[in-house]
Amino acid sequence: MQVLQELAAKNGPLCVGLDTDPSYIPENIVKQYESAPAAVLEYNKQIINRVAADKTACCFKVQIAYYEAMGLEGLKVYSQTLKLVRESGLIAISDIKRGDIGATSQAYARAHFTGDFETDIITINPYMGFDTLQPYTKYAEPENGGKGAFVLLCTSNPGMTDIEHQELKAGGLLLERVGDEIARIGAGFAKFYPEQTCGIYGAVVGATQVADARYLRDKYKDTFFLIPGYGAQGGDAAICKTLLEKAGGTVNSSRGILCAWKKASELADKAQAGTLTMDDIAGAAAKAAFDSKEDLTR
């Protein structure tokens, strides 16, 4: 997590979400490849290379569901995409939202921190209990790769109030109990990382919850945030900038970048005529990433 924090300070806080659905790529372009997953891989590759060269982002978040939906070939593309991200020098976040117990959680940790699906950071759902978090901490130790995790704290969806905002009998909100546990685990790893300025675990805090932003940023000043909701979900830069204070964070934008070509009238015309190229849509994504960085750092 420390490396990501440093990259965010260097390249800016943008996280490019590679939630790449084949439908985001014009049909005439998809037909030029052996399969839809092959087209997705090429699109991802071009975006990764351009964003890394432009230094407009600090990380990429790869949402596994989009690749699972493409079957076995899609999972191969998922694996290859993670390798491309890590080879680019930026951080790979695997958005897997695992949340299970015991041996099952240990298997998830092994699957995503080693082997074909190895990544730098994963997302975890803690709402089955805090024993779901423990199997991953082994991989946070330096000799086991120094891996990290973002724990769901205050998500960007409207239904987050159904559970995360529930009051506990002992007082406070459920999400605060989660935030306190994230901070506690991080403090326990200070012996491994004496110079760390953020914990091994970060927190997912959505950019759509205006009332929570200031409170959570002040309460968890040493926790690095993964901030979804910016762009297509309606979260604005003002909320993001509040959440980026203190320990900082990274702001995810997925569809706003992946589908940027749809907002450019000249590219929409080329798509209608069937002359749009992969270079065109990747170029639009790279420009959208640049514009997002400017918006977040202005």
How far apart CA 244 and CA 206 sit, in angstroms, is 12
User: Does residue 55 carry a catalytic annotation?
Assistant: no
How far apart CA 248 and CA 13 sit, in angstroms, is 8
DSSP strands (E only) in the chain = 14-17, 59-63, 91-98, 121-124, 148-154, 201-205, 225-227, 249-253
Which residue is catalytic, options 76, 83, 97, 287? Answer: 97
Longest dimension (CA), the chain: 63
Sign of the torsion angle spanned by Cα atoms 93, 126, 13, 298: positive
The token duo for 151 is: 């724990």
Task: For residue 90, report the phi and psi dihedrals to the nearest 5 degrees.
Answer: -100, 170
Active site residues: 97
